[in-house]
């Protein structure tokens, strides 16, 4: 009995890690817009891509659904969520308030170490600009999550992380491609204002930044289909495995 319990204790973390790998891979594919709103997410194709059971895939999809990135539809399977225009406006309204709260918490309180961390991240954004569109998208979102983390408010981190992820879906549906140079320069100016304690300037910079994102026009959709799903997830499955082995 004791041996059986020991085996269960050993297996459970392993199963959790494998499900988390599926979750991380799918989440990154969605945020980087490799998988687009409305794309179907068949459990068997995902399981084959990551080498896991449908049960683990289902667990990952449930996590993504709780974050608003996936829709689980009765008798039709899961798909990447497709926010309506009305929902998109609501999400940006909420994001504005959350980002403003983060700015007010950080203005004048940003430590030299935190400022240095943010500047290193901006350098990563600058390096990715013009070289890798998906990476630029992901890094731009991570900058805002990093700001939230520096407030020390766990709830704020959670909520900003969720709205930033949902905004990536909105961009995939309703936005046109843009120059990542703009976002990088805005992030750099925001760090300067926060470090100097210019709270009102920082708030205005953030408001302008989020407003510019919201006002973009439509983006061209890529073709859908399970074949493309398998091609996309093959790369993400390999990336996640490589990170786990590093």
CATH number, domain of 41, equals 1.10.10.10
CB 175 within 8 A of CB 159: no
Statement: residue 153 has pLDDT above 90: yes
The predicted pLDDT at position 179 comes to 53
Shared domain for 176 and 202, answered yes or no, is yes
Torsion of CA 48, 54, 60, 66, to 10 degrees: 130
Mean local confidence (pLDDT), 105-134: 88
Nearest CA among 183, 199, 98 for reference residue 135? 183
Statement: residue 176 has pLDDT above 80: no
The predicted pLDDT at position 7 comes to 41
Shared domain for 91 and 196, answered yes or no, is yes
Its domain, for residue 150, covers 85-214
When comparing pLDDT for 151 and 76, which is higher? 151
Shared domain for 148 and 239, answered yes or no, is no
Shared domain for 89 and 71, answered yes or no, is no
Shared domain for 94 and 118, answered yes or no, is yes
Question: What's the structural domain count of the chain?
Answer: 2
Mean local confidence (pLDDT), 112-116: 96
Shared domain for 90 and 198, answered yes or no, is yes
Predicted TM-score (pTM) of the model is 0.72
When comparing pLDDT for 31 and 133, which is higher? 31
Q: Could you tell me which residues are beta bridge partners of residue 164? A: none
Shared domain for 241 and 195, answered yes or no, is no
The predicted pLDDT at position 217 comes to 35
Nearest CA among 150, 144, 190 for reference residue 167? 144
% of the chain surpassing 70 pLDDT: 82
- Mean pLDDT (the chain) is 83
% of the chain surpassing 90 pLDDT: 49
Q: Is residue 16 very low, low, confident or very high in pLDDT (cuts 50, 70, 90)?
A: low
């Amino acid at each position: 009995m004791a041996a059986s319990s020991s085996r269960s204790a050993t297996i459970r973390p392993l199963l959790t890690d494998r499900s988390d790998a599926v979750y991380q891979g799918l989440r990154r594919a969605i945020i980087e817009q490799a998988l687009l709103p409305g794309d179907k997410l068949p459990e068997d194709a995902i399981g084959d891509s990551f080498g896991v059971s449908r049960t683990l895939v289902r667990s990952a999809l449930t996590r993504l659904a709780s974050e608003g990135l996936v829709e689980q539809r009765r008798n039709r399977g899961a798909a990447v969520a497709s926010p309506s225009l009305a929902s998109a406006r609501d999400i940006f309204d909420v994001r504005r308030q959350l980002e403003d709260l983060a700015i007010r918490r950080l203005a004048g309180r940003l430590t030299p170490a935190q400022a240095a961390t943010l500047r290193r991240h901006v350098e990563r954004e600058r390096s990715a600009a013009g070289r890798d569109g998906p990476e630029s998208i992901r890094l731009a979102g991570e900058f805002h999550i990093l700001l939230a983390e520096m407030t020390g408010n766990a709830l704020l981190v959670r909520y900003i992380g969720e709205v930033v992820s949902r905004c990536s879906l909105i961009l995939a549906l309703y936005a046109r491609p843009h120059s990542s140079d703009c976002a990088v320069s805005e992030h750099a100016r925001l760090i300067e204002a926060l470090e100097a304690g210019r709270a009102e300037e920082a708030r205005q910079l953030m408001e302008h930044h989020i407003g510019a994102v919201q006002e973009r026009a439509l983006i061209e959709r890529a073709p859908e289909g399970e074949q493309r799903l398998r091609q996309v997830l093959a790369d993400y499955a390999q990336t996640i495995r490589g990170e786990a082995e590093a």
